[in-house]
Every structure is written in structure tokens, then in C-alpha cells.
């Protein structure tokens, strides 16, 4: 039951677009039957084409979303804290569109699809709210696809690093959250291309250090570089 969920989980859901703006009473009713799962390293969560009996909110950790074509796996996204997984299947075909795999240990909120959808269908206001948030997510995906086509590899990598930075200016240290090969796949490049991109970023004050550590000397300078209109 939702009443059994930790208060901290309900507070965290306020930052999940699908639930942002909902009053606590509505959130609790929608989450009736939901449970918190703690999953281990590289555990397969679900496969593409499998019936979507549940969808998930990432409370902590990273989950790889991928598609397979002609025997080759392509990483579409690495979902992190506050991401929602599998909700499109719930409102669409009823089957997961992609495969999901936990990268490191992760904590997820698993929400049964059928009762959630039945409750939403009884509330037009909540349904419109959720359609709006899903539309915004679609626009973000379209923008990411455009960046893959229009930005250089160095700009793509720089933009990825900026997503992990909370500060607006100055110097920061950060760490790749998972294997660099996976980062390269996610950004649509080969591992050797990522290495070359790091060398190019060195010219704008990005230093790659051992143990996946990265130092950005000037966030604003990196942001300006990623926004430049470059070809190739």
C-alpha cells in the first residue's frame, strides 16, 4: 500500500515530472500497490517486447535502456534519479519498448500498470497533466537526437558533463558515473572517439584524470563551447 511507503519516497516524487504538482492524496491513491525495490549490479529489469505489468521510478542509481537491431545492442539512454521507465508502454502497446538493465545497485519504485491506468482514466485533470509531461519528455528526446546530428563529439561529451554539474560557474570536479564505453555508446560514438573528444576538451579547460575523475576549470567556458555552432 502507498501508505506504507517511506515519507522520503513521496517527497522525492515531487521532483518527478509525472507526479510534480499532484496533491499528496492523489499521489498516494495512484501508488496503491507500489513497492520499493533494491536491485543489484547488472540485473536485467525487463526486456523489449515483454508485457509491461509495471513501470518504474528511479530513486537512486543508474539503469541502462537499450534496443537491439541485427544482433547489435544500442544504448538509448542511461536513466538516473527521478527518471520514469516503462510508462509509455502502459499508455501504448502494453509492452516495453526497450530493454532495461541496472548498471550499479539501484533503488526503484515499482508501480503496477493496470490499477494506475484505471485510476488515471477516472481523473481527466491528472490524465492531462501526465500527457503534458510525456510530451515535454518527447521534445527533450528530439532535442537530444538533433544534438547527436549537429554537434561535434567533443560538444556532445561536454554537454554530457554539464548535466552532472549543479554549479553555474567556476571550477568543478566530477566523476563519470559509469564505464566510459557505455558513455560513448549513449552519446553515439566509439570509445576511441570519446578519448579524442576528451583531448579536444582539454583545450577549453577540461582535464581527464585517473579513476574516471574529470576537472572542469571553468563551467561557463565549457558551456559556451558546447553552444557554439560547429559543423562535423
Domain co-membership, 191 together with 142: no
Domain boundary among 149, 181, 211: 149
Pairing label, strands 106-112, 44-46: unpaired
**pLDDT for the residue numbered 147:** 66
Tell me if 232 is assigned to some domain: no
Domain co-membership, 32 together with 132: yes
C-alpha span between 229 and 152 (Å, rounded): 9
Nearest by Cα to 111 from 66, 183, 55: 55
Domain count, the chain: 2
Predicted confidence (pLDDT) per residue in 187-207, tens digit: 888 889 999 999 999 999 999
**pLDDT for the residue numbered 2:** 45
Cβ atoms of 96 and 50 within 8 Å: the answer is yes
Averaged pLDDT for residues 115-127: 90
Averaged pLDDT for residues 36-42: 91
Domain co-membership, 66 together with 144: yes
Domain co-membership, 177 together with 102: no
Averaged pLDDT for residues 83-110: 90
Domain boundary among 149, 168, 184: 149
**pLDDT for the residue numbered 129:** 82
When pLDDT is cut at 50, 70 and 90, the band that residue 232 belongs to is very low
* Residue-wise DSSP of 2-62: GGGS-HHHHHHHTTSTTTTT--HHHHHHHTTT-EEEEE-TT-EEE-TTSB--EEEEEEES-
Q: What angle do CA 76, 13, 8 make, to 5 degrees?
A: 125
Domain that holds residue 194: 151-227
Between the ranges 5-9, 30-34, 144-148, where is the mean pLDDT highest?
Answer: 30-34
Element (H, E) at 110: strand 106-112
C-alpha cell at 123: 481523473
Please provide the average confidence, as pLDDT, over all residues in the chain. Answer: 87
**Would you call 178 helix, strand, or coil by DSSP?**
coil
| 85 conformational bin, left if phi > 0, alpha if psi -120 to 50, beta if neither | beta
Least confident span in 20-24, 104-108, 132-136, 168-172: 132-136
Averaged pLDDT for residues 81-108: 89
Domain co-membership, 42 together with 110: yes
When pLDDT is cut at 50, 70 and 90, the band that residue 167 belongs to is confident
Cβ atoms of 78 and 103 within 8 Å: the answer is yes
pTM above 0.85, yes or no: no
Q: What percent of the chain has pLDDT over 90?
A: 46
C-alpha cell at 120: 488515471
Is the model's pLDDT at 148 over the cut of 90?
no
Amino acid at each position: 500500500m502507498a501508505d506504507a511507503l517511506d515519507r522520503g519516497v513521496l517527497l522525492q516524487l515531487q521532483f518527478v515530472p509525472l507526479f510534480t504538482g499532484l496533491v499528496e492524496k492523489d499521489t498516494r491513491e495512484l501508488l496503491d500497490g507500489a513497492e520499493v525495490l533494491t536491485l543489484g549490479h547488472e540485473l536485467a529489469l525487463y526486456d523489449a517486447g515483454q508485457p509491461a505489468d509495471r513501470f518504474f521510478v528511479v530513486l537512486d542509481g543508474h539503469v541502462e535502456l537499450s534496443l537491439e537491431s541485427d544482433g547489435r545492442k544500442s544504448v538509448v539512454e542511461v536513466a538516473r534519479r527521478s527518471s520514469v521507465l516503462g510508462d509509455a508502454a502502459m499508455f501504448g502497446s502494453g509492452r516495453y519498448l526497450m530493454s532495461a538493465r541496472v548498471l550499479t545497485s539501484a533503488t526503484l519504485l515499482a508501480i503496477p500498470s493496470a490499477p494506475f491506468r484505471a485510476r488515471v482514466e477516472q481523473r481527466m485533470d491528472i490524465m492531462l497533466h501526465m500527457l503534458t509531461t510525456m510530451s515535454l519528455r518527447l521534445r527533450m528526446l528530439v532535442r537530444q537526437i538533433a544534438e547527436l546530428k549537429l554537434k561535434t563529439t567533443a560538444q556532445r561529451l561536454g554537454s554530457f558533463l554539464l548535466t552532472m554539474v549543479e554549479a553555474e560557474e567556476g571550477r568543478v570536479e566530477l566523476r563519470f558515473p559509469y564505464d566510459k564505453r557505455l558513455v560513448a555508446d549513449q552519446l553515439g560514438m566509439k570509445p576511441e572517439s570519446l578519448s579524442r573528444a576528451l583531448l579536444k576538451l582539454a583545450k577549453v579547460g577540461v582535464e581527464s584524470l585517473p579513476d574516471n575523475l574529470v576537472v572542469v576549470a571553468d563551467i561557463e567556458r565549457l558551456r559556451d563551447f558546447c553552444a557554439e555552432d560547429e559543423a562535423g
